[in-house]
Structure 1
Amino acid sequence: MAPAPGVPEAALLHAPPGWTRLAFVSDLHLSAQTPRTMQAFLRWLRGPALQADALFILGDLFEAWIGDDLLDDTARTVEPAQAAVAHTVACALQAFAADGRALYVQHGNRDFLLGAGFARVACARLLPDPAVVVFQGQRLLLTHGDLLCTADTAYLQFRAQVRRADWQQRALAQPLAERARQAQALRAASQAAQHGAGSWADADPAEARRWLTQFASNWMIHGHTHRPRDHWSDGQLRQVLSDWDCDTPPTDQQRAQALWLHACCGGLTVHRTDCR
């Protein structure tokens, strides 16, 4: 079926028959400035996450990714803090996948430059956005979620620009230090815009329903909006993932959740776990 106007094509992934547990996370925004969040994620990867047959990271694993050369030895002298985070996380993901677990990573609005070099080191597969995963008879529509925020027109224009291959080639041709400077400026501008608006665009429910209809699915999982919740509408379920933030006070407002799907007794159980 050809996609409807404005709806991107979706990749299709059939889960192997042996898979019984899937885990989903998004919006971890890992960086040198979020040490508690990173430690929570590393603990979770070494512990509860090992129960999953497949882990899906639906975008914004990193606060910023300025190129796979962050994993090169030379990056340690140019951008030591970012390089240390890159190496630590990539190696932890590699260890997670070492026993045959599947690891899929979608691009987010912060780490759209993740490439084949990162995937190779982390033993991950880069998952197109959107993607349909067929699991236990269910067609799960997975997306980061930024394309659903149709009211955020300025961002969508920016997204269209930076996702072009020619733009990315020019960006990656710049020295690592210059890319780091530009990324820092973009983050500062984004934070100022969010603070000034007092809010940010949410996913458009009508657009989400259009996607679900287009891809013959009644179940969508996405992140991006930092508004974790289950939305039911006319037999369709849209589950919004939690962002991860263990560094910002107050403690009772910190969060780091994973969404789990577990096949058992001829059906699926769904639950969220606190990963702090």
Structure 2
Amino acid sequence: MTTLFISDLHLTPSAPEITACFIRFMREEAIHADALYVLGDLFEFWIGDDDNSPFASEIKREFKTLTQAGVRCYFTQGNRDFLVGKRFAKQTGVTLLGDETVIDLYGQKAVILHGDTLCTDDVQYLAFREKVHRPWLQWLFNRIPFTFKKKIVAKVQTDISQNKSMKSMDIMDVTQAEVEAVMNKYQVDLMIHGHTHRPNIHVFDSRKRIVLGDWYEQGSVLVCTANQLDLQTRPFI
């Protein structure tokens, strides 16, 4: 019995090596798992569920094949794909999760999340996040013609890149106080998240915080069994 966790793939047509690694992972590994959890930022930027491009359709097919084979698949929105919605879920068979979800991982309770909400020192980003998660704004954006949405997203991506380049790495990392607050809230000793691109297993006060890695230079997969939590990498071929 195996449960897999991935995040921060940032899939995009301009990085075919990442897509190839993802497809190989889905067809050779995930297909044999009990469950797959995608903890956000699967895409470099998901413009909306009305994206019917060949690239988007290819990724959807991989999830559909997986769920039709009986593998349970769960998706937590990240800061790059917060517009993944009900249509995507229906087309792929994945189950959408909330910002924070408590799961039973072979008898151990764990809280899973993308991880951006743990970065409480990044006040500017959290203000941006609060704005774009407003239901009325997402409702309006989803009704704009797709070509216009692409132009808006291109501008947003440029602004995000510029703002990120001016921030210190410490500001963009999680704050320990928020980590402990979330774990205390759900009374768990295990947290799994992505977002920071700093893969590691942190141990403190008999608790564990597992950070998934990004897929920019190699794949990153957390492989969980009843007896082991193993953070692994997958090479690009």
TM tier relative to shorter chain: over 0.9
Cα distance in 1 between the residues matched to 2:106 and 2:13: 39
Q: Percent identity?
A: 34
Say which SS state the counterpart of residue 229 (structure 2) adopts. strand
Cα distance in 2 between the residues matched to 1:260 and 1:134: 15
Residue 145 (1) aligns with residue 111 (2): no
Say which SS state the counterpart of residue 69 (structure 1) adopts. coil
In structure 2, the residue matched to 1:43 is 24
Alignment check: 8 A CA contact 2:106 2:225 kept? no
Say which SS state the counterpart of residue 197 (structure 1) adopts. coil
Which of 96, 109, 124 pairs up with 1:126? 96
In structure 2, the residue matched to 1:275 is 234
Amino acid at match of 1:148: L
Q: 1:192-229: per-residue Cα shift (whole Å, max 9, x none)?
A: 22223353510111110111011010000000000111
Cα RMSD (Å)? 1.2
Amino acid at match of 2:35: A
1:87 CA displacement: 0.4
Q: 1:37-70: per-residue Cα shift (whole Å, max 9, x none)?
A: 0111001101022221000000011111111111
Amino acid at match of 1:212: M
Cα distance in 2 between the residues matched to 1:180 and 1:31: 14
Q: Can you give the 5+ residue segments of structure 1 that lack an aligned partner in the other structure?
A: 1-19, 72-82, 246-253
Q: How many residues align?
A: 234
Say which SS state the counterpart of residue 187 (structure 1) adopts. helix
TM-score of the pair, normalised by structure 2: 0.95
1:274 CA displacement: 2.0
Residue 238 (1) aligns with residue 201 (2): no
In structure 2, the residue matched to 1:225 is 196
Amino acid at match of 1:58: L
Say which SS state the counterpart of residue 140 (structure 1) adopts. strand
Q: 1:162-220: per-residue Cα shift (whole Å, max 9, x none)?
A: 11110101111111111111111111111122223353510111110111011010000
Which of 21, 26, 34 pairs up with 2:2? 21
Q: Can you give the 5+ residue segments of structure 2 that lack an aligned partner in the other structure?
A: none
Say which SS state the counterpart of residue 51 (structure 2) adopts. helix
Say which SS state the counterpart of residue 117 (structure 2) adopts. helix
Say which SS state the counterpart of residue 201 (structure 2) adopts. strand
Cα distance in 2 between the residues matched to 1:261 and 1:141: 14
Amino acid at match of 1:260: V
Alignment check: 8 A CA contact 2:212 2:231 kept? no
In structure 1, the residue matched to 2:162 is 192
Equivalence map 1:1-276=2 (5 Å): 20-71=1-52, 83-197=53-167, 199=169, 201-245=172-216, 254-263=217-226, 268-276=227-235
Q: 1:53-108: per-residue Cα shift (whole Å, max 9, x none)?
A: 0000000111111111113xxxxxxxxxxx12210000011111221110001100
Cα distance in 1 between the residues matched to 2:164 and 2:105: 37
Q: 1:211-251: per-residue Cα shift (whole Å, max 9, x none)?
A: 10110100000000001111111011000000111xxxxxx
Amino acid at match of 2:19: M
Say which SS state the counterpart of residue 104 (structure 1) adopts. strand
